């Protein structure tokens, strides 16, 4: 029994790693919660599907509001057949591992989550995986998005709010990713409605500090809710940027400091 379990999880890990090798796995992680990860994931899916690629998104862990799952579902509602966006939902709006500990819930082992991601990556042309919270937010026993990324491989986009403080937080995230061997890292800075003194300089500063890494800056798209039509329109308007984010985040190798 054990050997069957081991070989199944090895096979699934193989699927995830193979998908990553072929450029099909793109992690969207963040320096924090609420930075725009779901917005970017939805834009990438809308761009992919709008340009004839079967790009899909998942959010393996979700805590509190189910809005992320619903919003991701909407942008890929044309998928035929059952497609689970989320592997593990916890009701309390806390880090999933904390919420599970407080309510006595069992969380899947890291290998199971990798298996789940690998199965989904193998079923489409490109899988966008949204983390929960920030890169080091505890998801399950002994792992956060960082350890999942280490196990699955793939490209990684670090999303941060374009304001004072993002340089340090982004560098820390990038250093952590490099330390587990990730070579393909991009950064997306999301503008906010209110500019601060750092908003115009963060992108070039990070490009220089991260050794020529790809850094993209997306504008503020207004306070109105970003429904499906709006997401599709924006994804068309910035299709070149989204294509770059999707394609080159794997190829962008950062230099170790
Ligand atoms: N550039 C932007 N223009 C307009 N609205 C934005 C922008 N970036 C983020 N938002 C809005 O900010 C809110 C938080 O963004 P989002 O849900 O994508 O963050 P998140 O990182 O996925 O958060 P979580 O950690 O909860 O998953 C959303 O209402 C989103 O639409
Ligand atoms: Mg989200």
- Domains of the chain: residue spans and CATH: 2-248 (3.40.50.300)
Please state, in angstroms and rounded to a whole number, the distance separating the CA atoms of residues 147 and 220: 31
Q: Which residues are paired to 88 by β-bridges?
A: 61
Measured from the alpha carbon of residue 220, the closest ligand is 1
Q: In b/e form, how buried is each residue of 20-44, taking b as 16+ CB within 10 angstroms?
A: beebbbbbbbbbbeebbbbbbbbbb
127 lines ligand 1 (CB under 6 A): no
Q: Which atom of ligand 1 is nearest to the CA of 36?
A: 18
Residue positions counted in the chain: 257
CB 107 less than 6 A from any atom of ligand 1:
no
Structure tokens at 181: 């061997």
Confidence label for 213 from pLDDT (cuts 50, 70 and 90) = confident
Give the CA distances from residue 34 to residues 29, 107, 123, 160, 234, in Å, rounded to whole numbers and listed in that order.
Answer: 11, 23, 29, 9, 20
What global pTM score does this model have?
Answer: 0.92
CB 226 near ligand 1, within 6 Å: yes
Mean pLDDT of 179-187: 92
CB of 89 closer than 6 A to ligand 1? Answer: no
pLDDT at residue number 223: 85
Beta bridge partners of 138: 144
φ, ψ dihedrals at 70, nearest 5°: -65, -40
36 C-alpha vs ligand 1 centroid, how far in Å?
4
Distance 91 CA to ligand 1 centre (A): 20
Phi, psi of 156 (to 5 degrees): -135, 130
29, 33, 36, 128: residue to mutate for ligand 1 pocket, most atoms within 8 A of CB: 36
Cβ neighbors of 1 (< 8 A, separation 6 or more) are none
Residue to substitute in 32, 33, 34 for testing ligand 1 pocket (most ligand atoms within 8 angstroms of CB): 34
Lowest mean pLDDT across 28-32, 36-40, 124-128:
124-128
- The ligand with the least distance to the CA atom of 39 is 1
| Mean pLDDT in residue range 10-37 | 80
Contacts of 60 (CB under 8 A, 6+ apart): 86, 87, 88, 113, 116, 117, 129, 132, 139, 148
Please report the pLDDT score of residue 247 as a whole number: 80
Quick check: 236 pLDDT over 90?
yes
pLDDT tens per residue across span 143-175? 999 999 999 999 999 999 999 999 999 999 999
* Active site residues per annotation: 59
The verdict on the CB of residue 133 being under 6 Å from ligand 1 is yes
> Rounded to the nearest whole angstrom, what is the distance from the C-alpha of residue 142 to the centroid of ligand 1?
27
- Residue nearest ligand 1's atom 15 by CA: 36
CA dihedral sign of residues 126, 132, 134, 136: negative
Q: Is 183 a pocket residue for ligand 1 (Cβ < 6 Å)?
A: no
């Amino acid at each position: 029994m054990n050997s069957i379990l081991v070989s199944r999880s090895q096979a699934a890990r193989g699927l995830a790693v193979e998908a990553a090798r072929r450029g099909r796995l793109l992690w969207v992680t963040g320096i924090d919660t609420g930075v725009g990860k779901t917005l970017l994931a939805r834009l990438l899916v809308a761009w992919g599907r709008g340009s004839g690629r079967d790009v899909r998104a998942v959010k393996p862990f979700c805590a509190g509001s189910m809005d992320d799952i619903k919003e991701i579902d909407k942008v890929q509602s044309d998928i035929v057949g059952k497609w689970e966006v989320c592997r593990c939902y916890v009701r309390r709006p806390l880090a999933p591992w904390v919420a599970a500990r407080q309510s006595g819930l069992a969380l899947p082992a890291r290998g199971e989550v990798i298996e789940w991601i690998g199965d989904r990556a193998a079923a489409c042309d490109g899988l966008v995986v949204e983390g929960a919270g920030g890169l080091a937010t505890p998801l399950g026993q002994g792992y956060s998005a960082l350890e999942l990324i280490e196990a699955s491989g793939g490209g990684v986009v670090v999303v941060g709010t374009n304001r004072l403080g993002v340089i340090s937080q982004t560098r820390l995230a990038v250093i952590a990713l490099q330390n587990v061997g990730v070579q393909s890292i991009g950064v997306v800075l999301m503008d906010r409605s209110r500019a601060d003194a750092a908003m115009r300089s963060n992108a070039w500063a990070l490009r220089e500090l991260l050794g020529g890494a790809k850094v993209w800056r997306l504008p503020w798209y207004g306070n109105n809710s970003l429904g499906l039509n709006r997401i599709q329109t924006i994804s068309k308007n910035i299709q070149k940027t989204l294509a770059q984010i999707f394609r080159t985040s794997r190829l962008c190798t950062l230099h170790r400091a």
